[in-house]
Amino acid sequence: MSDKVKVTIDGIAVEVAPGTTILNAARQIGGDIVPPAMCYYSKLEGSGGKCRTCLVKVSKGSENDPRPMPKLVASCRTTVMDGMEVENITSPEVVEARKGVVEMLLINHPLDCPVCDQAGECSLQDLGFEHGAAQTRYEFDRRTFERIDIGDKIQLHMNRCILCYRCTYVADQLTDGRCHGVIGRGDHAEISTYIEKAVDNDYSGNMIDVCPVGALTDKTFRFKNRVWFTKPVDAHRDCPTCSGKVTLWYKGEEVIRVTARKDQYNEVEEFICNTCRFDKKSTSDWVIEGPTAIRHDSVISSNHYETLKPLPVIQKNEKLIEANLEQFQKTQKD
Ligand code: SF4
Ligand code: FES
């Protein structure tokens, strides 16, 4: 008997291990049908379930119980069942709901991309570009906060935070003490450093890499450049603390930033230590491996950068989209 379960996502079938989430099953298929994820992070235990950007429709629960799930579900938190059928980009209802989620996330997020260091690498910017509306329906003032230094190398700009909790999981799981968390609830919720207590653990800089927006930024890089004017290069060093595998971001001959290497889902491949990130900014500190592969649709590729990763195969099921659209329009009329 097979120890795998079969799930169909947007008409594409895949067999995965029991207990796999819909999101990870979709990642095994790859391409356009993978739901966006602003809070889930495969390397951080317990992450997910906060932002709702990964919503999908389960049109068939399982082989044994084919009833559809009554509401859209968070794909990062819902595990697959054998025979399950899921709709993501083929469901107009999901696309509509995702628009709503983006609108919600942008209620308090300032549209300051022109001055934000995360511009060009921001998941919310990408999501807003795909699903955002040109205008807001929100009539109240956005929440504003003073900037806070978390130690001498990291700055928290809470105005931009979408409360995905990723940085708090980093603080919990990679650092020794819990001096960084979420306090308050609802509109009052905010990331706190508990009276600006510095996070001085060797791995605290990873909070910057996991932040999907520009709320946590590297003070050694702030306002130095726009990411699309830089040239990323893979490099490594023999580091006693971490793997030492990083991306160096060059402006001319100068290394202006060091980050962990990121995969196609914008997640770090391996967490790096603060010494590699903040203290090793000379080319002589590193063994250069070569230019970092960049996705074709990344803004960094606009800098005529040579090594471009081919885009994942576009797997759209036009017939399914059409059928679901008809069904959706009918339910809207009823
Ligand atoms: S500061 Fe960034 S990583 Fe932390 S909760 Fe806010 S958005 Fe998420
Ligand atoms: S990625 Fe699933 S809820 Fe945020």
Indicate whether 204 and 238 sit together in one domain: no
Ligand (nearest to CA of 150): 1
Atom number, ligand 1, closest to the C-alpha of residue 163: 5
Indicate whether 93 and 120 sit together in one domain: no
Indicate whether 232 and 329 sit together in one domain: yes
Indicate whether 259 and 212 sit together in one domain: no
Domain range for 186: 109-133+149-218
Q: What is the pTM of this model?
A: 0.87
Query: Which residue stretches of the chain have pLDDT < 50?
Result: 195, 198
Ligand 1 neighbourhood includes 210 CB (under 6 angstroms): yes
In tens, the pLDDT along 283-311 reads 999 999 999 988 777 777 776 555 556 55
What integer pLDDT is reported at residue 52 of this predicted model?
Answer: 95
Residue 69 inside a domain? The answer is yes
* Protein residues whose CB sits closer than 6 Å to any atom of ligand 2: 37-40, 48-54, 74, 76
Atom number, ligand 1, closest to the C-alpha of residue 182: 5
What integer pLDDT is reported at residue 218 of this predicted model?
Answer: 94
- State which of 145, 154, 167 you would mutate to test the pocket of ligand 1, scoring each by most atoms of that ligand within 8 A of its C-beta: 167
Q: Which helix (H) or strand (E) holds 260?
A: strand 254-260
Residue 274 inside a domain? The answer is yes
Atom 1, ligand 2: residue with shortest CA distance: 37
Biggest distance spanned by C-alpha atoms of the chain: 68
What integer pLDDT is reported at residue 234 of this predicted model?
Answer: 95
CB 112 within 8 A of CB 87: no
What's the full length of the chain, in residues? Answer: 334
What integer pLDDT is reported at residue 133 of this predicted model?
Answer: 80
Alpha carbon separation from 46 to 56, 68, 101, 217 (Å, rounded): 20, 26, 21, 23
Indicate whether 87 and 182 sit together in one domain: no
Residue 206 inside a domain? The answer is yes
Indicate whether 98 and 121 sit together in one domain: no
What integer pLDDT is reported at residue 195 of this predicted model?
Answer: 42
Indicate whether 202 and 259 sit together in one domain: no
Residue 143 inside a domain? The answer is no
Q: What separation, in Å, do the N-terminal and C-terminal C-alpha atoms of the chain show? A: 45
Indicate whether 156 and 233 sit together in one domain: no
* Ligand 2 midpoint to CA 50 (Å): 6
Question: Which residues face 268 on adjacent strands?
Answer: 262
* Ligand 1 midpoint to CA 10 (Å): 31
Ligand (nearest to CA of 123): 1
In tens, the pLDDT along 56-93 reads 999 999 999 999 999 999 999 999 999 999 999 999 99
Residue entry with tokens 């699903």: 131
What integer pLDDT is reported at residue 316 of this predicted model?
Answer: 60
Q: Would you state the structure tokens that stand for residue 289, as one six-digit string?
A: 């491996």
Report d(CA 90, CA 322) in Å as an integer: 8
